[in-house]
Structure 1
Amino acid sequence: MTIDVRAPHAAYLAFWQERLMCTLTTQRLDGSPHVVPVGVTYDPAAGLARVITNKASRKVANILAAGAGGARVAVCQVKEGSWATLEGVARVTSDPAAVAEAVRRYADRYGRQPSPNPDRVAVEITLTRAMGRAV
């Protein structure tokens, strides 16, 4: 089922607030998918999903390789009969305010403050599609 990324129904939004691990799928240079577990936060008001990570990670390299226009990516989570996928264009930012906001949202969703990391960046995904089934 397709969901409005900026105005998801209550059950879908509640599902994205549960403490669940997700996957992020990026594309390698050879076109094959690179899928890794991540923590994701969903901000429908801004039309963004956010991931915090290390700037030397493969996912960051894959996104940067796509160029200034960003990389098409998907994040997904599953729990029993419920699933949700967010798709969009990812860009990497090292802007301190953007990284701090991503960390704050991560701490809110996952109930723990990440360890300090001077190499932390944020992946901001400008959302273009949301789909899923939240039961």
Structure 2
Amino acid sequence: MSRATIELSSGIAAFLTRPHTATLTTLRLDGSPHVAPVRFSFDAAAGVARVTTRAGARKARNVLAGNGTARVALCQSDGFRWVTLEGRAVVTDDPARLAEAVRRYTTRYRGAPPSPPDLVAIEVVVDRVLSLNL
């Protein structure tokens, strides 16, 4: 998975550290969008956003169906301010990558995420950042 540093304004960077919920949009096999509320972390230095979830969750299954080519969008909003992170996504159950996702989530939201037995991380290599009023 190719990663690149993402340049963010100070306003966007600060906004993405606040403990807000976002929406994750994935595509079903028929091309229709699936939108789910999620919590996530963003590592601008690596250009990677991470969402923890269950392997059997629709969002994870949609990404897996893309066989490494799935594109997703994460959108965090607060009133008339929002940031959308877009990119290619993969699902991983690699213990080191899961630990990093959990660590970053715990830091951002000041508490560990749920830890079901089929915990996975959706990793998004961000290649586009859109925003309004930040």
Structure 2 residue 66 is matched with structure 1 residue 74: no
Which aligned pairs between 1:14-53 and structure 2 lie closer than 5 A?
Answer: 14-53=14-53
The amino acid that maps onto 2:79 is E
Structure 2 residue 7 is matched with structure 1 residue 7: yes
**CA positional deviation for 1:134:** 4.3
Aligned to 1:57: 57
What runs of 5+ residues in structure 1 fail to find an aligned partner? none
Query: Superposition RMSD on alpha carbons, in Å?
Result: 1.4
Partner Cα separation in structure 2 for residue 134 and residue 98 of structure 1: 33
The amino acid that maps onto 2:33 is P
Report the number of matched residues.
Answer: 131
What runs of 5+ residues in structure 2 fail to find an aligned partner? none
Task: Please give the TM-score of this superposition, normalised by the length of structure 2.
Answer: 0.93
Aligned to 1:128: 127
Which aligned pairs between 1:80-119 and structure 2 lie closer than 5 A?
Answer: 80-119=79-118
The amino acid that maps onto 1:18 is R
Q: Structure 1 residue runs of 4+, over 3 Å off? A: none
Partner Cα separation in structure 2 for residue 15 and residue 116 of structure 1: 26
Partner Cα separation in structure 2 for residue 21 and residue 60 of structure 1: 18
Partner Cα separation in structure 2 for residue 52 and residue 114 of structure 1: 7
The amino acid that maps onto 2:127 is T
Q: Name the SS of the counterpart of 1:50 in structure 2.
A: strand
**CA positional deviation for 1:97:** 0.5
The amino acid that maps onto 1:103 is V
Matched-pair contact (CA < 8 Å) for 1:73–1:88: yes
